[in-house]
Chains A and B, each alone.
Chain A
Amino acid sequence: MLKKRIIPVLLLKDKRMVKGKKFKDFKDTGEPKTAVRIYSAQDADELVFLDIDNNSSSLGNLIEIVKQASEECFMPLAAGGGISDINQARELLKAGADKIVVNTSCVKNPSLIKEISEEFGEQCVIGSIDYKISNNLREVWIKSGKLNTNLDPLEHAKNLIKLGAGEILLNSIDRDGMMEGYDLEYADKVSKEINVPLIVCGGAGNYMHLADLLNNTSISAAACASLFHFGDNNPIRARSYLKNLDIPMRMLK
């Protein structure tokens, strides 16, 4: 039986790890290398690295961090942030990434998804969608939440899957860093309407929030950052909490 995944997200800025609220007010949360080592020891199911500087020199930093991570831990690694051409994807894969997270280019240059999936397979591309609610409408924002595209997140997701995305990462900007729970109903609706695994991000503040997201839904994975950065929480405890609620979790030994 396939288990539900819990995926720590590492946001990277100037070679450091940061975490903000609603994509703003970033606080330093430590050294990525140390975090990778800890998450590896805690048997996280997978790691996602997102570079939020989005410039040419920061890509070099991201590659370096992924390279170190792949020497350190033997779990799936996804990486992205400002990926705009296939060579950057190739570099990241060569450094040890298994999956490439594409966000802004999904809108600006959707054929990139097609290119990466044709060369490296659909399992290699995570279509990442950040959205915000305004006037009761959910709309896709790009450029780290700075530019509204007016696109509908669900329609956008379906389009990315058509182009070759093997997974969708759905992130609520309104809930980011707030630790008040996921955008449950919407995440469930999106998951029901798409045929690839859905990773949901934005809002986890305690283990119950993870359970609410994963219990009795077809959602594949809960991604979280603040939950593990702030407070005495970790993937081991999260897993045992969810296991007690009969949510299928990975068996390690």
Chain B
Amino acid sequence: MIGIVDYGAGNLASVHNAFERIGEHSEIFEDSKLIDKYDRIVLPGVGSFSRAMHLLTSKGWKEAILNHINDKKPFLGICLGMQILFESGDEKGPCEGLGVIKGKVKLLNPSSYLKIPHVGWNNLLPSKEHPVMEGIKENIDFYFVHSYRCIPESKKVILSECDYGGKFVSSVSKDNVIGMQFHPEKSQPVGLKILKNFSNWDGKC
């Protein structure tokens, strides 16, 4: 079963509803000790990096999530849930992340007059193939809403980029972990397709 981490921030109903729609059973759970019950985990998230890390650390989530990942079980981080996979962020002051992927998270810096946050529909520029992204064409748009971008140390983890006054990393993967800056649960049929792929993914790539 799919477990959706409820650490006290954001709209979790949409992620849950999206899995229901595609016929995948998921549960929103608030107790980090229950994580072993789930064979795959989704970490959604909106809000700030430092607040999310504070909530995750104070409720035992950090250890639980790292254990799940070390057990090679599939893990999906969405938006802020992708960003906190990195080593550090600087939203509202420097802050340590989960450190699953080497690199940091910094404010978007689009050229010219483009606005922050980056809100709306934008297409992915794939860097490599991945089972979770199977069947997604390059020109298809996904829904983004964020002000910060992930900067991985190694290009090997970059699954796709996106252009917003310059390229930024729009999805990453490392072993059994995948992270998406966009919101599959808000991206209508193409987003549901990705969630379906994740539900069937064995965590290998």
Binding site for B on A (CB under 8 A): 1-5, 40, 43, 45, 67, 70-71, 73-76, 93-98, 118-124, 166-167, 192, 194-198, 218, 220-221, 250-253
- Proximity bits, B101-123, A CB within 8 Å = 1, else 0: 00000000000011111111111
> On chain B, which size bracket covers the interface?
35 or more
The answer for the CA separation of A123 and B186 in the assembled complex, in Å, is: 14
Answer whether residue B53 sits at the interface, using C-beta atoms and an 8 A cutoff. Answer: no
Q: Is the CB of B11 within 8 A of A93?
A: yes
Q: Of B34-42, B142-150, B152-160, B197-205, which binds chain A?
A: B142-150
The answer for the CA separation of A2 and B169 in the assembled complex, in Å, is: 15
Q: Is the CB of B146 within 8 A of A2?
A: no
- Proximity bits, B1-39, A CB within 8 Å = 1, else 0: 000000001110110011011000000000000000000
Q: How far is the CB of A42 from chain B (nearest CB, A)?
A: 11
Q: How far is the CB of B81 from chain A (nearest CB, A)?
A: 13
The answer for the CA separation of A4 and B76 in the assembled complex, in Å, is: 28
Q: How far is the CB of B142 from chain A (nearest CB, A)?
A: 9
Known contacts: A2-B164, A70-B14, A94-B13. The answer to whether A253 contacts B121 by CB under 8 A is no
Q: Is the CB of A98 within 8 A of B14?
A: yes
Q: How far is the CB of B54 from chain A (nearest CB, A)?
A: 12
Known contacts: A74-B188, A123-B46, A253-B140. The answer to whether A197 contacts B21 by CB under 8 A is no
The answer for the CA separation of A76 and B188 in the assembled complex, in Å, is: 9
B contact residues around A94 at 8 Å (CB): 11, 13
Chain B residues 114-141 with CB under 8 Å of chain A are 114-123, 137, 139-141
Q: Is the CB of B189 within 8 A of A252?
A: yes
Answer whether residue B192 sits at the interface, using C-beta atoms and an 8 A cutoff. Answer: yes
Q: Is the CB of A98 within 8 A of B186?
A: yes
A contact residues around B123 at 8 Å (CB): 1, 251
Q: Is the CB of B188 within 8 A of A43?
A: yes
A contact residues around B137 at 8 Å (CB): 253
For B140, give the chain A residue with the smallest CB separation.
A251
Main secondary structure of the interface of B (DSSP, over half): mixed
Q: How far is the CB of B185 from chain A (nearest CB, A)?
A: 6
Q: Is the CB of A74 within 8 A of B116?
A: no
Answer whether residue B175 sits at the interface, using C-beta atoms and an 8 A cutoff. Answer: no
Task: Please list 8 pairs of residues, one from A and one from B, whose beta carbons are closer than 8 Å in the complex, sorted by A's number.
Answer: A93-B11, A97-B11, A120-B46, A123-B119, A166-B117, A196-B117, A251-B140, A253-B140
Q: How far is the CB of B91 from chain A (nearest CB, A)?
A: 9
For A1, give the chain B residue with the smallest CB separation.
B163
Q: Is the CB of A220 within 8 A of B115?
A: yes
Known contacts: A120-B10, A251-B123, A253-B137. The answer to whether A2 contacts B118 by CB under 8 A is yes
Max chain B Cβ within 10 angstroms of own Cβ: one of A2, A74, A97, A252: A74
Max chain A Cβ within 10 angstroms of own Cβ: one of B20, B21, B47, B189: B47
B contact residues around A119 at 8 Å (CB): 9, 47, 51
Q: How far is the CB of B190 from chain A (nearest CB, A)?
A: 7
- If A74-B18, A120-B46, A250-B141 are given as contacts, then 19 extra A-B residue pairs at C-beta distance below 8 Å, sorted by A number, are A5-B121, A40-B188, A70-B11, A73-B188, A74-B188, A75-B188, A94-B13, A96-B17, A98-B11, A120-B10, A123-B145, A123-B146, A166-B147, A167-B117, A167-B119, A196-B115, A198-B115, A252-B189, A253-B137
Q: How far is the CB of B12 from chain A (nearest CB, A)?
A: 8
The answer for the CA separation of A74 and B47 in the assembled complex, in Å, is: 20
A contact residues around B10 at 8 Å (CB): 93, 120-121
- Proximity bits, B82-105, A CB within 8 Å = 1, else 0: 000000000000000000000000
Known contacts: A74-B191, A94-B13, A251-B123. The answer to whether A120 contacts B140 by CB under 8 A is no
